[in-house]
Amino acid sequence: MAVTLGALVLMVSSLAWAPAGHAGTPGEYEAVTCTGNSHSHYDPPLTLQPQETHNYAHVRYTCTTAPGHTTPATGSFDSVSPSASCLSLTDTRGVETVHYADGTRSVIVIDGATTVRVTGVLESLQSGRVVEGRGKGHFIRRTVSALPRQLPTDCLTSGLRVTESAVQLEILP
């Protein structure tokens, strides 16, 4: 009885600390949380007048892939908003490919977004699903925060071509 109980405890503890994507039975997946900074380019530049805009961003992440295990990663984000301005983004759809330092990747399709301005900070809450690679089939939540100092008076003249933002990406279990 003691040997069986001890074996059961060892098995459960090893499942709890297995690397992301390998815990438990086949198909189980631990969450991945990545935080970092984004450097975005807008074409055409963002102005006060809403217009269809293409956004390409390069993101540098630090990702937690298992309890106590972090790894660097980079993301390439490509999206189109049919009605973007310095004040808001609507119906943003896009794809992000995250490359992890261990050579794996996650290809993510963003199919929903809510953007609000709160005390000068432009917050975009995005949702979607991993369609390929690490976390395939799992839902994601992505939060982008553009700070007020990054939305200068350029919005009134030539338009805003580049922003820097804080990004958090969560691949949910």
Q: What is the pLDDT of residues 106-126, one digit of tens each?
A: 999 999 888 877 776 778 899
Cα→Cα distances 34→37, 80, 138, 142, 171, Å: 10, 23, 15, 9, 9
So what's the pLDDT on residue 143? Answer: 95
Find the Cα–Cα–Cα–Cα dihedral 10, 14, 16, 22, rounded to 10°: -150
Distance of CA 43 to the CA centre of its chain: 21
Report the pLDDT averaged over residues 7-32. Answer: 43
Query: Rg of the chain over CA atoms, in angstroms?
Result: 19
Pair 76, 61: CB distance under 8 Å:
no
pTM metric for this prediction: 0.78
**Given the structure tokens 């055409």, which residue do they identify?**
44
d(CA 115, CA 117): 7
Q: What is the pLDDT of residues 80-110, one digit of tens each?
A: 988 888 777 777 789 999 999 999 999 999 9
Query: Which structure tokens are listed for 64?
Result: 């937690």
d(CA 90, CA 33): 25
d(CA 122, CA 132): 29
Q: What is the pLDDT of residues 45-73, one digit of tens each?
A: 988 889 999 999 999 999 998 888 999 99
> Could you tell me the residue ranges of all domains in the chain?
30-171
